[in-house]
Amino acid sequence: MRALRVNRSAVERRAATIPTRRTVKKEWQAAWLLRAITCIDLTTLQGDDTTGNVLRLCAKARRPVRHDLIEALGAADLGIKVGAVCVYHAFVSAAVKALEGSGIPVAAVSTGFPAGLNPLPQRVDEIRASVAAGAREIDVVITRAYALTGDWEALYDEIRAFRDACGQAHMKVILGTGDLATLGNVARASQVAMMAGADFIKTSTGKEPLNATLPVGVVMTRQIRDYAERTGHTVGFKPAGGIRKAKQALDWLILIKEELGDRWLRNDLFRLGASALLTDIERQLEHFVTGRYSAAHRHPMV
């Protein structure tokens, strides 16, 4: 693990080509944006969250695009809905009830999110409580100090404890890449998380000063590809934090297509952690349908 190295300048050059080398226009762009919607983990993780906000978010998750736009796009029969709704543990039960029958899973952030510095037994108990409340996906945070000090065995043991507590629930391991100091640490933490049983590896909590970036995405997706080639086991990828514009969503989809292939362009292996992103995607879809950009308030989130 300590021998794993990353060529930072090469990664940055590769990442810089993603927004410039390919463009997706017109009906292709609309189709890609609809695909992006199906991969969104529609998220609310604010200190002022209320049950009412979460219920409205769940209603948006069921029908993420205005019906008139879906009809105009010829997509009314596609059953477009988001990939999941992501909330704090306190709102899991309300979200599960609100999404009943929709097929949309509830994801709970856990393990002392966002810092992950609670005592390990408390973090494990929090996972079990969220699973018991009906969460089908758990987003866990690692102890970044293990990665920063190179204690990879301790990191593995921690994530294994989280994996055991998740049971049948999918586990998305948040690396907190903005806190990991180097791309080498990002690569090593990605490998450890996958070896310990992660179903997804995720960039960020959204609370760090630096969140999802394309260079980090290049490193993490290449670790996923390497792991799949070595083991035959596919692991998903979730960038999160700071993804607010439809153009950013397209950049991430292009990255996934080029680095991992079409198999990863579905929500069982790719998610976008976001909330404001959906508003901008709706605006872009309305522009495609009408030729005009609408105000954001015409596409309310909650």
Give catalytic residue positions: 139, 202, 238
**Residues 2, 142: Cα–Cα separation, whole Å:** 18
Contact predicate 86/139, CB 8 Å: yes
Per DSSP bridges, beta strands 84-87 and 272-274 are unpaired
**Residues 290, 31: Cα–Cα separation, whole Å:** 16
Q: Measured over all CA atoms, what is the biggest interatomic distance in the chain, rounded to whole angstroms?
A: 56
- Helix H, strand E, coil C: the string for the chain is CCCCCCCHHHHHHHHHHHHHHCCCCHHHHHHHHHHHHHCEEEECCCCCCCHHHHHHHHHHHHCCCCHHHHHHCCCCCCCCCCCEEEECHHHHHHHHHHCCCCCCCEEEECCCCCCCCCCHHHHHHHHHHHHHCCCCEEEEECCHHHHHCCCHHHHHHHHHHHHHHHCCCEEEEECCHHHCCCHHHHHHHHHHHHHCCCCEEECCCCCCCCCCCHHHHHHHHHHHHHHHHHHCCCCEEECECCCCCHHHHHHHHHHHHHHCCHHHCCCCCECEEECHHHHHHHHHHHHHHHCCCCCHHHCCCC
**Residues 206, 114: Cα–Cα separation, whole Å:** 8
Per DSSP bridges, beta strands 200-202 and 272-274 are unpaired
